[in-house]
Amino acid sequence: MKTVRFIFPLARPYFWYYLAGIILIPPSTYCALAIPRYTGAAVDGLRAGPSGSGAVPAALIGALLLFALGRAVCLFGTRWLIIGASRRFEFDLRNRLFDHLQHLDRRFYDQARTGDLMNRSSTDIDAVRTMAGPCVMYSISTLFMLSLALPLMAAVDGLLTALLLVPLSLLTAAVRLIGPRVQLSHRRAQETLSALSSFAQENFGGMRVVKSFAMEEREIGAFKDLCEVYYQRSLATERVYNYMGPIAGAVGEIAAILLLLAGGGMILSGSFTLGDFIKFGGYQSLLIWPMISIGWVVNQVHRGLASVARLEEVFAARPAVADSGGKSEGGGLAAAVKPEELRGEIEFRRLNFSFNGPPVLQDLSLKIPAGKTVAILGRTGSGKSILASLIARLYAVPDGTLFIDGIDINRIPLASLRQAIGFVAQETFLFSRSIAENIAFGALDRDPLRWKEKASRLAALSRLDKDIDQFPHGYDEIVGERGVTLSGGQKQRVAIARAMMGRPRLLILDDALSAVDSHTEEEILHNLRQAKGDLTVLVISHRIASIKDADHIYVLEEGRIAEEGSHQELARRGGIYTEIFRMQLLAQELEEM
């Protein structure tokens, strides 16, 4: 029933397609059955009469051709309408799943595996579509074929009909029995293939160890064993799978033998004619595919149901981050907040944050005044990146702990909040599009005409312009999957230009220049300062050089604020900051030796 609830609303827009396709099935079946009937009649007519042309009346041949035409038209209509509708159904389902995925939050993606989600959005959708298309078409066609053919056959001879049904129903049973067995066996073979694949992957990945310990020959031996097991299992699958063809062939032949023996006997006794014989043979061959398809449909429905369950799981996931509105302090969404009206003042009030485990941020209170540049310094694992992602609400923020311009962050519409923020994450993710499109990523939907010009202005700001001039296609250069064709520093500079594109009110640089040399970093920071106007900037780094000019610096240690002040104050204090500063000077000194 759950499945019906899932599929029905999706199929509903195509109700008329389905209905029209189904209405065509009975006439289609009728026409198909008419052909053996007319052939039989023609043969019977040949038993007596004068020789010469026109032994079979032209009217009869004409009628037969007309029925064939009718059958053809109906077949076309049924397939085109029903299968076509199922493709549209698939189109809708795909879009809905994608839309849903886009609204799930980071917590979901922290746990989900990409491969698994990909499987659900390809294989599972495919299985559901098969259920909504071919399964519907074949099961209804079979239903009509059986209910129309059997009375016709029984009218000729009831006993013979009953006799022929035996091998035919065996066919259905065989498909039902063999289909799942092939799948099971195939799955076992696939498991071995995936073991084989993991073995190879590990071997290639651990090649240094393999070579260091001269394991090559032994690895080849172990791989050979796996290949042998896979060979055996594949063969086991083939052993079952290969039954299908011969059995389907044999059932047709057995029916033919029965017809020959029983039908032939009745011909001898005079109760049957050759016309009846051919008529029966024709009906028989029309029944073979429907009998196979019953088994096939049942197997497909089994798979489809499992896929529906897997898709429902994804659809059931709800994001914790959404425009639901804060429950405290007045509640409800502050719908009036426009991104350009935000000033960018940030305040953390005694915020605690954890991932179902030890606290990541503890009792954190800090304030970033609008228009100022504030820095957070901390070692790896101090919680500084989480702090940044909370400001963009990538994770759910507890009510009453984080305020932008004095408004609880949960009351600001998510889109407005994020449009007001320019976020440069620690790891740059670029899309496999052109550089210009990557820079203008956040504005692609807004001003489609002017973004190219704007992109080049921002590239200059992030010192990317000279690099781009050297690309063969300039701004139209495609950056490759995840931006592989760019260096780490180039990627980071694209990300900075991208963040500035949307005219943010608040810029967050999370270790954003780690792969850029210190001279270029200096230049970019200078350019940002020049261009910034009343922009609020939050710089997160473990490098003192990147943050020493900030108006205020917080030092984060194990999720708490350990020190704060200006660079001059902190450098003299003799605490963590002083220590980190001393080490970094030393490293710099060493680099110059």
Partner 1 sequence: MPPPAFSPHEEDRLAAPLDRRLALRLLRYGLPYRGWMALAVLLVLLVTGLDLAGPLIVKQAIDGPLRQSVAGASTPLPGSGGGGAPASSTASSPMRQLAAWAALYGLVVALYVSLRYGQGLLMSSIGQKIMRDLRLEIFTHLQRMPMSFFNRNPVGRLVTRVTNDVEALNQLFTSGVVTFVADVVVLSSLTLVLFWINLRLALVTLAVVPFLLLATFVFRFFARKYYREQRGHLAHLNAFTQESIQGMDTIQLFVQEAENLRRFAAINGSYLDAFQKTVFCYSVYFPVIEILGASALACILWQGGDGIRAGTLTFGEFYLFWSFLGRFLNPIRDMAERYNVLQSAMASAERIFRVLDSPQTIRSREAAVRPARLRGEVEFKEVSFSYDSPLPPPLREGVDSPLPPPLREGVDADFAVRDLSFRVEPGETVAIVGATGAGKSTVINLLTRFYDPQRGRILIDGLDLRDYHKQALRRRIAVVLQDPFLFSRTVLENIRLGNPEISAEAAMEAARRMQAHRFIERLPQKHEETLKERGLTLSLGERQLLSFARAMAHRPDLLILDEATAHVDTETEKLIQAALQELWRGRTSIIIAHRLSTVQRANRILVLHKGLLREAGTHDELLKQRGIYHRLYQLQFLGK
Which residue lies nearer to partner 1 by CB, 319 or 565? 319
Nearest residue to 298 (alpha-carbon basis) of 379, 419, 177: 177
What per-residue string of b and e applies to 491-523 under the rule 16 or more CB within 10 Å gives b? bbbbbbbbbbbbebbbbbbbbbbbebeeebbee
Angle between helices 58-102 and 25-45 (to 10 degrees): 160
* Residue 400 CB neighbour total at 10 angstroms: 16
| Shortest Å distance, C-beta 124 to partner 1 | 13
Residues found in the chain? 593
| Shortest Å distance, C-beta 180 to partner 1 | 20
Output phi, psi for 478, to 5 deg: -85, 130
Cα separations in angstroms, 389 against 353, 425, 539, 588: 12, 9, 13, 31
| Shortest Å distance, C-beta 54 to partner 1 | 7
Which residue lies nearer to partner 1 by CB, 221 or 474? 221
| Shortest Å distance, C-beta 172 to partner 1 | 18
Which residue lies nearer to partner 1 by CB, 263 or 552? 263
Which residue lies nearer to partner 1 by CB, 249 or 331? 249
Dihedral (CA of 572, 575, 576, 580) sign: positive
Which residue lies nearer to partner 1 by CB, 353 or 423? 423
State CA 18 to chain mean position distance. Answer: 27
Which residue lies nearer to partner 1 by CB, 123 or 365? 123
Joined together, the tokens standing for residue 512 give: 């954003």
| Shortest Å distance, C-beta 357 to partner 1 | 16
Nearest residue to 279 (alpha-carbon basis) of 20, 110, 33, 494: 33
Which residue lies nearer to partner 1 by CB, 219 or 557? 219
| Shortest Å distance, C-beta 403 to partner 1 | 20
Contact 311, 3 (CB under 8 A): no
| Shortest Å distance, C-beta 557 to partner 1 | 15
Q: How far apart are CA 445 and CA 447, in angstroms?
A: 6
Contact 413, 336 (CB under 8 A): no
| Shortest Å distance, C-beta 21 to partner 1 | 11
Angle between helices 518-531 and 488-501 (to 10 degrees): 0
| Shortest Å distance, C-beta 41 to partner 1 | 10
Helix (H, G, I), strand (E, B) or coil at 322: coil
| Shortest Å distance, C-beta 2 to partner 1 | 25
Which residue lies nearer to partner 1 by CB, 494 or 552? 494
Joined together, the tokens standing for residue 162 give: 């009953």
Q: Which residue matches tokens 């889109």?
A: 415
Contact 540, 509 (CB under 8 A): yes
Which residue lies nearer to partner 1 by CB, 162 or 209? 209
Q: How far apart are CA 256 and CA 282, in angstroms?
A: 10
| Shortest Å distance, C-beta 243 to partner 1 | 7
- φ/ψ region of 382 (left if φ > 0, alpha if ψ in -120 to 50, else beta) reads alpha
Output phi, psi for 361, to 5 deg: -125, 135
Q: How far apart are CA 403 and CA 400, in angstroms?
A: 7
Which residue lies nearer to partner 1 by CB, 2 or 315? 315
Which residue lies nearer to partner 1 by CB, 95 or 169? 95
Which residue lies nearer to partner 1 by CB, 79 or 181? 79
Strands (E), 80-177: none
| Shortest Å distance, C-beta 530 to partner 1 | 24
State CA 179 to chain mean position distance. Answer: 27
Helix (H, G, I), strand (E, B) or coil at 445: coil
